[in-house]
Amino acid sequence: MEHETLFPLLCKTAEGNKDAFAKLYEITSSQLYAVALKLLKRPELADEATQDAYIKIWHNAGSYQRTKGTVLTWMVSIVRYRALDLMRYHNVRNEVELTDEAAAIPDAPQAFQLGGEQQKLAACLDELDGPQRQAIHLAYVNGLSHQEVVNYLSSPLGTIKSWIRRGLQSLQRCLSL
Amino acid sequence: MNYLKEETLNALAAEYVVGTLRGKARLRYQKLMMQYQAVSDATAQWEQYLAGFNDTVEPVEPPKAVWEEIQRRLGHSASNDTSAQIVDFERAKRDRWRGLSMLSTAAALVLAVLLVVMQPAPVEDVSHIAVVNNADNTPLWVIEVSPSSMDVKVTDAFTAIADKDYELWMVPANGEAPISLGLMPEMGGDSRATPDILLDSSIAALAISLEAPGGSKTGAPTEVLYIAPILSV
């Protein structure tokens, strides 16, 4: 999808082509919205983050650099950072609302179902210790702060910080191979 | 600089992308990203490393109102009852911009020409410059544009305001609404890729607005502080 579709649409968006922008929205919005909703939990905030992200995408389409990652990664990053801003601004707390779903995720998904990027991440996540994997997942996907991960996993703050830090170091070693 | 030690930088970038870098540390990191290429490169690298997580989130269709609001905010929609008001509002904004940019052009032109004369010869491929002056005509930022990069330098006369950011805007000559070119650096300077739109469009002026941290939330400048003409060199 990436090279055939998204990149040309983003280029046309940078030139001010509204139809290309509408198409780009049509293809990507359910992915961006889902990421925002997962982080923010509240639909009205996810709406706001998604709107802000696409406004920014419209204005900054020309500054996308292909060497720094795929179009979709660039777009999802924009909505993630906006959601993190809103989370801080509205003081969104995450500790109570996650239940079985988050607890179930840490087993890395079955590799054969996944695309290349995800497959590699899944394989590398698989090499991490269970708690490290779970802590990183809770922080990245569900938007938990260090303290919220502490509450969720019932381990001391120092331990959580070190799980995340060491987990990320191991991930990087594995992913850059 | 301490921040730029590779290991520290790498750990900070990872925590920023994961989302566990919060509060003031996060704001400081965002400033560093604007100032240092190595910081923004490390961030992009981690965004790629962790991108696989994004696909594990099951897609959710946003409500229809989300797209309608995006179009309204960008001034793209034109087919409902409120569209007449929006068009009028856009026009009023445009006229104001046209007036502002014309007024400031004469005075700023003289200053900018003086500055060009006083400065050493610009780097060969710089094609345009703009100097952003404050109300006392003291330069705060100098912007040099070449086909590939846009370099912004902060002068010693600039003083940052806590909890505020400065956003750069391009004011199209055809009177259309200003277009954001991103946040201004508040110390040292930065270099960013020249947005295509800057080279393709006919520009009346650049403008700087005062914004809440992170820049304008509406897609339009909140409080315009300075206007600077953009000049060929």
Q: What would the pLDDT profile of B186-228 be if each residue is shown by its tens digit?
A: 877 777 777 766 766 677 788 898 888 778 888 888 888 888 8
Which of B27, B20, B24 is CA-nearest to residue B215? B27
The pLDDT value given to residue A17: 94
The verdict on pTM exceeding 0.90 is: no
Q: Please provide the DSSP assignment of chain A as one string.
A: -IIIIIHHHHHHHHTT-HHHHHHHHHHHHHHHHHHHHHHH--HHHHHHHHHHHHHHHHHHGGG--GGG--HHHHHHHHHHHHHHHHHHHTT---TTT--HHHHHTTSPPPGGGS-HHHHHHHHHHHHS-HHHHHHHHHHHTT---HHHHHHHHT--HHHHHHHHHHHHHHHHHHHT-
Q: Are the CB atoms for A151 and A135 separated by under 8 Å? A: no
Indicate if ipTM > 0.90: no
Q: What is the CATH number for A43? A: 1.10.1740.10
A11 with A55, same domain: the answer is yes
Q: How many distinct structural domains can be found in chain A?
A: 2
Dihedral sign from CA coordinates of A66, B61, B18, B161: positive
Nearest CB partner across the interface for A62, out of B11, B69, B197: B197
- Specify if A81 maps to a domain: yes
Tell me what the mean pLDDT of segment A136-160 comes to. 93
**pLDDT of B39 strictly over 70:** yes
Q: Are the CB atoms for A56 and B176 separated by under 8 Å? A: no
The pLDDT value given to residue B171: 81
Binary contact (A69, B51; C-beta < 8 A):
yes
Nearest CA in chain B to A146: B20
Q: Does A54 touch chain B (CB under 8 A)?
A: yes
Which of A78, A113, A98 is CA-nearest to residue A144? A98
Q: Which of A89, A115, A141 is the last residue of a domain?
A: A89
Interface of A with B in 79-108 (CB under 8 A): 80, 84-85, 88, 105
A80 with A119, same domain: the answer is no
A84 with A105, same domain: the answer is no
A37 with A84, same domain: the answer is yes
Q: Are the CB atoms for A152 and A144 separated by under 8 Å? A: yes
Tell me what the mean pLDDT of segment A76-86 comes to. 94
Tell which wins on pLDDT, B5 or A166. Answer: A166
Residues of B in contact with A141 (CB under 8 A): 53, 56-57
Amino acid at position A71, single letter:
V
The pLDDT value given to residue B189: 79
Binary contact (A120, B52; C-beta < 8 A):
yes
The pLDDT value given to residue A27: 96
The pLDDT value given to residue B106: 56
**pLDDT of A34 strictly over 60:** yes
The pLDDT value given to residue B8: 86
Domain coverage including residue A135: 100-175
* Nearest-CA distance A7 → chain B (Å): 15
A139 with A68, same domain: the answer is no
Structure tokens at B162: 């806590």
A12 with A54, same domain: the answer is yes
Please state, rounded to an integer, the average pLDDT across all residues of chain B: 77
pLDDT digits (tens, 9 = 90+) for B98-109: 555 555 555 565
pLDDT digits (tens, 9 = 90+) for B119-141: 544 445 788 888 888 877 788 88
A127 with A158, same domain: the answer is yes
- Specify if A94 maps to a domain: no
* Nearest-CA distance B141 → chain A (Å): 21
Structure tokens at A26: 């049509």
A107 with A81, same domain: the answer is no
**pLDDT of B86 strictly over 70:** no
The pLDDT value given to residue A111: 41
Tell me what the mean pLDDT of segment A129-137 comes to. 92
Confidence of residue A110 (pLDDT cuts 50, 70, 90): very low
Spatial distance between the Cα atoms of B198 and A146, rounded to a whole number of angstroms: 42
* Chains A & B: contacts with CB separation below 8 Å: 152
Q: Which of A68, A89, A110 is the last residue of a domain?
A: A89
Binary contact (B58, A115; C-beta < 8 A):
no
A84 with A138, same domain: the answer is no
Spatial distance between the Cα atoms of A134 and A99, rounded to a whole number of angstroms: 13
- Specify if A17 maps to a domain: yes
A85 with A104, same domain: the answer is no
Q: What is the CATH number for A104? A: 1.10.10.10
Beta strand B139-145 with B179-183 is unpaired
Binary contact (A69, B54; C-beta < 8 A):
no
The pLDDT value given to residue A88: 82
The pLDDT value given to residue B115: 54
Confidence of residue B12 (pLDDT cuts 50, 70, 90): very high
Residues of A in contact with B26 (CB under 8 A): 84, 88
**Contacts for B218 with CB less than 8 Å, ≥ 6 apart:** B73
Set out the domains of chain B in order of their start, with CATH numbers: 2-54 (no CATH), 96-232 (2.60.40)
The pLDDT value given to residue A71: 94
CA distances from A49 to A6, A148, B87, B184 (A): 21, 22, 25, 23
Query: In a 3-state reduction of DSSP, which class is residue B2?
Result: helix
A77 with A112, same domain: the answer is no
Binary contact (A30, B196; C-beta < 8 A):
no
Spatial distance between the Cα atoms of A80 and B39, rounded to a whole number of angstroms: 18
Nearest CB partner across the interface for B193, out of A65, A145, A168: A65
Q: Are the CB atoms for A21 and A58 separated by under 8 Å? A: yes
Spatial distance between the Cα atoms of B10 and B15, rounded to a whole number of angstroms: 9
Q: Which of A89, A114, A143 is the last residue of a domain?
A: A89
Tell which wins on pLDDT, B72 or B5. Answer: B72
pLDDT digits (tens, 9 = 90+) for B2-11: 555 788 899 9
- Specify if A21 maps to a domain: yes
- Specify if A95 maps to a domain: no
Dihedral sign from CA coordinates of B224, B228, B229, B230: negative
Residues of A in contact with B54 (CB under 8 A): 31, 35, 72-73, 76
Binary contact (B53, A29; C-beta < 8 A):
no
